Structure 1
Amino acid sequence: MSGESSEPASGEERPTSGEDEVEIPAVDSVSGFGIPIRGNDIDTDQIIPARFMKVVTFDGLGEFAFFDLRFDDNDDPKAHPFNEERYQDSSVMVVNSNFGCGSSREHAPQALMRWGIDAIIGESFAEIFAGNCLALGIPTVTADSETIEELQDWVDENPDGEIGIDVETETVTYDDRTIDVSVDDAQRKALVEGVWDTTALMKANAGEVRKTAQKLPYVDSTAIPEAD
């Protein structure tokens, strides 16, 4: 499992409005060491096998990330970047096409985050996986296949080289180079404006949520919980 990883280089924290103010950090940029995960169509079952999802909380899921790709039937290590010592402080994953496809399990990005991943750069992502990453404040940015392969090769040769992702300007910097990447418009807005944690926003505005629910004719008033 990863050791301490680089924290997202977030912009100023911007509180939301509501009866209970909460501070959700804006994720303007993220920086850290890279780790290349090669291969197309890596699905969520490969990211976190189903047998490890029988948990009450997500705590501890990080050690099971890519478990079946990392260990054989006897739990002996196989060749995989997550097992390599040189990548144990990495926090920026570089992947290929259709990463995170398959089931919609939110455990997949939870496992990656708990291993130490703060951002993912790839050719493309499954839509639900990208949405689940956004809910954790993890940017998923895209570039063409040639650009991704060049970056993976560079990371392989420079495991201690820093990668910087600027979410707002849609650029990635490494090795004195700056490349253009794409960030989904809704994702960029949510990250940069610090409104990506929808659960925290709803909790902060629990009273308003209750008032709205009370006005809906199809909602049973007895089923609406009291706001704290």
Structure 2
Amino acid sequence: MGADKIRIIDGRALPIFGDDMDTDRIMPARFLKSITFDGLEQHVFEDDRLEAKRSGHVHPFDDPKFQGASILLADRNFGAGSSREHAPQGLHRWGIRAVVAQSFAEIFFGNSLMMGLACVTAPAKDVEALMSLVNRDPQATLAIDLQARTCQASGLTIAIAIPDHVRDTLLTGAWDTTGLLLDRYEEVNAVSAKLPYLNGFTN
């Protein structure tokens, strides 16, 4: 099997403007009943999208020019609010593979790492430059290099920040803990057979 080793994430980008974009906006609470996460991609930013439509605007997640984007650009404290794994799950299932933001809420950051959704930070001026670029040219391709800690787009290269242990987890594929266990299935079975509290049960 083997977990995916993530070094470079490239693709088109989609901007979401506004500080403190909380998880209730990313994935409204009424969709938290799902335990399989199936179909969550349909409800990402649903309330914001409906409000934009009512006011005669088009939300970035509904804008045809941003469909197929795999990188999300965001402002400060992205993913604030309650600890709901459904928020990064919805983004990931929509097709987002990396988020570049000025900063992240800690729990959202951790939940994202557990599914291989790379979250990196950059200074406000650099995030704004990327947002301006993709607004002018939605077809522009961004390339995030976790090893080099850079993000490149249309001749623009910016430095990104990611904690060493998080970067190493993504680069080595260690983010997929279930995959790591399955890769060592025989070893896990051998160890569990020696543990008295896992053996000797009767129906």
- Fold shared per TM-score above 0.5: yes
Structure 1 residues 78 and 68, CA gap change in structure 2 (3 angstroms): farther
Partner of 2:23: 44
Partner of 2:125: 146
Deviations 1:102-153 (A, max 9, x none): 1111111110011111111000111111111111111111011111111111
The Cα shift of 1:221 comes to 3.9
Count of equivalent residues: 200
The Cα shift of 1:203 comes to 3.5
Identify the match of residue 161 of structure 1 among 128, 140, 145: 140
Conserved 8 A contact 2:193-2:199: no
Conserved 8 A contact 2:28-2:47: yes
Identify the match of residue 85 of structure 2 among 103, 106, 110: 106
Identify the match of residue 53 of structure 1 among 8, 13, 32: 32
Q: d(CA) in 2 for partners of 1:82 and 1:199?
A: 31
Identify the match of residue 71 of structure 2 among 92, 107, 119: 92
Secondary structure of the residue aligned to 1:120 is strand
Structure 1 residues 183 and 71, CA gap change in structure 2 (3 angstroms): same
Structure 1 residues 86 and 215, CA gap change in structure 2 (3 angstroms): same
Across the aligned residues of Structure 1 and Structure 2, the Cα RMSD in angstroms comes to: 2.4
Deviates more, 1:90-99 or 1:177-186: 177-186
The Cα shift of 1:185 comes to 1.1
Conserved 8 A contact 2:150-2:160: yes
Q: d(CA) in 1 for partners of 2:83 and 2:4?
A: 26
Secondary structure of the residue aligned to 1:93 is strand
Q: Does structure 1 residue 179 correspond to structure 2 residue 158? A: yes
The Cα shift of 1:208 comes to 4.9
The Cα shift of 1:89 comes to 1.5
Letter in 1 for 2:28: P
Question: Greater helix percent: which structure?
Answer: 2
Superposed counterparts of 1:116-155, under 5 Å: 116-155=95-134
Structure 1 residues 215 and 29, CA gap change in structure 2 (3 angstroms): same
Q: d(CA) in 2 for partners of 1:207 and 1:135?
A: 24
- Structure 2 gaps, min length 5: none
Secondary structure of the residue aligned to 2:61 is helix
Secondary structure of the residue aligned to 1:98 is coil
Q: d(CA) in 1 for partners of 2:117 and 2:184?
A: 24
Q: d(CA) in 1 for partners of 2:63 and 2:155?
A: 26
Conserved 8 A contact 2:71-2:97: yes
Q: d(CA) in 1 for partners of 2:12 and 2:59?
A: 17
The Cα shift of 1:207 comes to 5.7
The Cα shift of 1:193 comes to 1.1
Superposed counterparts of 1:26-45, under 5 Å: 26-45=5-24
